[in-house]
Structure 1
Amino acid sequence: MCKGPDSCTVSSKAADVEEEEQLDRRIEQALECPCVDELKAGPCGELFVTTFTCYHKSRAEPKGCDCLTVSLAFADCLRRHPEVLDDLHKADEGLALPSAAR
């Protein structure tokens, strides 16, 4: 319960910090997924992590528009290193669903 404007601000800041910490934990867990290991380990790994994190932390509308610079840098890195996507496509081929399941 708010007892005045100052207590509301403090509560709001505490809630914002908690929300930010939860978001950081979710991002960290997502980045631990083996499905992104190749992207993280490759030549564009640091940009991938930065882009992924920026997008998920974005509060802009439309979501992620404030991540344009880093997203373009990541896309440029992928263009300079096409083997990254080739390797991912090859890995995906092994995960393809049988035609009956499609």
Structure 2
Amino acid sequence: MVRKTSKNNDLLSSVRKDTSPKVYSLLVDLVNDNREDLAEIVIKIDYLLEYTSACIRQKDFNEAKETIKSVESRMNTLDKEGVDMEHLKHLYEGIKKKCK
């Protein structure tokens, strides 16, 4: 079977420019394991972490707290599935510390 990359997969090609290399690598692994449903959750988490960071920069801590709760629930879903999300946890912990 051919390894899926951004050249032969629509999901990967749409997120390649917008995600960090570590997140993209995780997405490639999930897509190649036929777990595109989990890959979409990773994309949502990545977006929500960026949004939370923007809320913190704008001093909107209430919105940041609500968003970080949403990230927590999605990360629990990935954790139950056994996805290696060390990088996402690192980002999450860093952003959560800034959230007052």
Query: What TM-score, normalized to structure 2?
Result: 0.39
The answer to which structure, 1 or 2, has the higher relative contact order (CA under 8 A, 6+ apart) is: 2
Larger-gyration structure (1/2): 1
Query: What TM-score, normalized to structure 1?
Result: 0.38
